[in-house]
Amino acid sequence: MVRAQPSVDDWLDGAVRERPRAGVTAVVAPPAPYLFRAAERLRGSPVRWGGQDVSWDEEGAHTGEVSASMLAEAGASLVIVGHSERRLRFGESDVQVAAKALRATGAGIRPLVCVGELAVERRDGRAEAVVAAQVDALLVGLKGQTQGLMLAYEPIWAIGTGVAASPADAEAMHALIRSRLGALAASVPLLYGGSVSADNAGEFMHTRDVDGVLVGGGSLRTSSFFAICDAAERCAGA
């Protein structure tokens, strides 16, 4: 049986009825056409909202782009930057990803920057080198403007496949990322993303260096999204 996904309005209505989870910050990032609807409907709810992408340009003739100041004016608290789909399908480089993150911080929006390796890079033993290079390039490009920075490790081979990394693999990569952050290690939250579900979210969030999760398909229904929030609440209270 094929079941249709709930409409945006159904999702937002469901979110408004949810209770806050102690110690949990829940943020949803809808596509750009729905940002103002999310801003209106989620007002007063336990869910914050942000954007899926942002332009590295602030102004000028860039038809179709969404600038950081536009997101800020709409009320976004966060924006996802450098998601693997943007890197792979649209060819975004580490330099461009850093430029986007810098625009976000300049507008007072938290950039959630994604890093991660391909399956072939992991098989060849290059996963750590690839992720380290992405983190290093980001820090160079931010030029010290790291306020609000968040990082998400999303192994590209795990996204949308139903095959998540093991908690041990996630912990090892998160430890590497913290080591590359240097003096920022204690202040930058690290999230894991890649086939996260209500069944495995708690395993990831119980590991030492994983502060939260970046959820894709598991967020399409409010029931599964808030089941993951429940797992986060249990970890926060542990």
Q: What is the pLDDT of residues 116-145, one digit of tens each?
A: 999 999 999 999 999 999 999 999 999 999
Which residues are part of the catalytic machinery?
Answer: 83, 154
Cα dihedral sign, 153-43-147-207: negative
Residue 186: give the domain boundaries: 8-16+27-38+59-237
Is residue 54 included in any domain, yes or no? no
Output the domain CATH number for residue 200.
Answer: 3.20.20.70
206-229 as b/e, with b when 16 or more CB fall inside 10 Å?
ebebbbbbbbeebbebbebbbebb
CB of 232 within 8 A of CB of 206?
Answer: no
pLDDT band at 159; cut points 50, 70, 90: confident
How many domains does the chain fold into?
1
pTM value?
A: 0.94
